[in-house]
Chains A and B, each alone.
Chain A
Amino acid sequence: MRGPENEQKYLEFIFQYIHTRIGSLSREQFDLFRPYFKFRRFEKKEIILDQGEIEDNLNVVVEGLVRKFVVTGKNDVTLQLATEGHIIQSEISFHTRSPSPVKLETIEPTVLVSLTYESVQTLLANIPIAESLGRALITQMFIKKDSRYFNQIGKSTREKFLDYVNNHPHMLQRVPQKILASYLNIKPETFSRLKHLIRNQK
């Protein structure tokens, strides 16, 4: 998994991702971005960013699974679960250059393709297409965030659970139940009960 051929594969993944999901981009344009990408590898349960540190990276998960969470009282609250093709970072810290209120930790062994804050600024200043890609990207992040918030407070516990499980069936296998329950803001006991419900349905 560590060879340069994999880096080639990850870069191709990033190109396809930008081209199909964010905004059209030629291979020549993408080549201008290439020197700025860093590959970062983590074991499972490794801290990528701790609370209080300054986030210096915009990360795309190309392999693995990462969670973003806050430690509050005795419980962790998970804000985001990011799998292949998802962007994950401490946005507040990255954009305001202030200590991060959240932590990032891997759940599985993970490879991230990252751009540093400085690289992002350089790209925005020097590559004409970067500005519109940047705008398209933050727009998508905004829409995603709003829809998560809408689901969190607008749906019943049961609806939230069923929607999530139906749309992300693989996540039940990949993510510890306690973490999924905290991500969906459902009590662990309730989560177990709901899980039995879907088993019985099948």
Chain B
Amino acid sequence: MVSRIKEYIGRFLTLTPEEWNTLAETFEVRTCDKKVKLLEIGEVENYIHFVVKGLARKYFYKEGEEIITQLAKEGELISSSVSFLSSQASGYVVETIEPTTFISISKAQIESFYKLDQRWEKLGRLIITELFLEKERWELERICFSTRERFVRFVSGNYDLFQRVPQKYLASYLNIKPETFSRLKHLLQKKTSSNIA
């Protein structure tokens, strides 16, 4: 179970066996059913969750409608990150889509690591930088590509999510109207079946 998170952290910093043991002691493992809310709007986020198995999403409400801003699958982090970093009330809900197992680390633990050694600050800086860059890339994606291009790019890069995530969630995440999403999906299926024929 921990090999995935080890691999994730290894992208940023190679931990010594001692460092790894210290970190692993703080892991809180929990498994949730599908559609379980880990955090509600207005609460303060105290955790960063790493998805070991399953699928979760993050969203907020715009005039009663859910707007999904993140989908997190195995090997990815999910948290109401601004609330986590700023200790302010969350503007987002974090909720599972499938039954999901997380490895979670609390804010208090992370803060105590920062005081322990600069290597942990470095790890924190590198992870936050990566999350920042992901946001920037996503914003550029929305600006630079048409609805149709965004759909095609997403499906070709994330075919697993395309199959696992309910269509209305995907439409919201990609900021595509549900009707348009259905039409694009139809088009794709026609194309695929004609390729096979």
Is the pair B60, A154 in contact by a Cβ cutoff of 8 Å?
A: yes
A145 within 8 A of B: yes
Interface hit among A41-49, A134-142, A164-172: A134-142
A131 to B124, CA, bound (A): 10
A34 within 8 A of B: no
Residue of A nearest to B138 (CB): A149
A79 within 8 A of B: yes
Is the pair A150, B91 in contact by a Cβ cutoff of 8 Å?
A: yes
Is the pair A141, B143 in contact by a Cβ cutoff of 8 Å?
A: no
Is the pair B128, A139 in contact by a Cβ cutoff of 8 Å?
A: yes
A96 within 8 A of B: yes
A1 within 8 A of B: no
Query: Which parts of A94-149 form the interface with B (CB within 8 Å)?
Result: 95-96, 101-102, 124, 128, 131-132, 134-135, 138-139, 141-143, 145-147, 149
A77 within 8 A of B: yes
When distances are taken between beta carbons in the complex, the residues of chain B under 8 Å from A146 are 81-82, 135
When distances are taken between beta carbons in the complex, the residues of chain A under 8 Å from B135 are 142, 145-146, 149
For the A-B complex, the count of residue pairs with Cβ-Cβ distances under 8 Å equals 76
Is the pair B85, A143 in contact by a Cβ cutoff of 8 Å?
A: yes
Interface residues of A, dominant DSSP:
helix
CB distance from A134 to the nearest CB of B (A): 5
A131 to B113, CA, bound (A): 14
A138 to B85, CA, bound (A): 11
A91 within 8 A of B: yes
Chain B interface bracket (under 10, 10 to 19, 20 to 34, 35 or more) = 20 to 34
When distances are taken between beta carbons in the complex, the residues of chain B under 8 Å from A150 are 60, 91
Contact of B121 among A70, A72, A131 (CB under 8 A): A131
A33 to B173, CA, bound (A): 42
Is the pair B114, A132 in contact by a Cβ cutoff of 8 Å?
A: yes
Known contacts A143-B86, A154-B60; is A128 also within 8 Å of B144 by CB?
no
Known contacts A141-B132, A143-B82, A150-B60; is A135 also within 8 Å of B140 by CB?
no
A198 within 8 A of B: no
A150 to B83, CA, bound (A): 13
5 smallest CB-CB distances across A and B, nearest first, come from A135-B125, A142-B132, A131-B121, A146-B82, A77-B143
Measured CB to CB, the residues of A under 8 A from B are 70, 72, 77, 79, 91-92, 95-96, 101-102, 124, 128, 131-132, 134-135, 138-139, 141-143, 145-147, 149-150, 153-155
Q: A128-B118, A143-B85, A145-B132 are in contact. List 13 more A-B contacts (CB 8 A).
A: A72-B143, A79-B139, A92-B133, A131-B122, A135-B121, A135-B128, A138-B125, A141-B132, A142-B81, A145-B136, A145-B139, A153-B62, A153-B67
Measured CB to CB, the residues of B under 8 A from A are 60, 62, 67, 69, 81-82, 85-86, 91, 114, 118, 121-122, 124-125, 128-129, 131-133, 135-137, 139-140, 143-144, 175
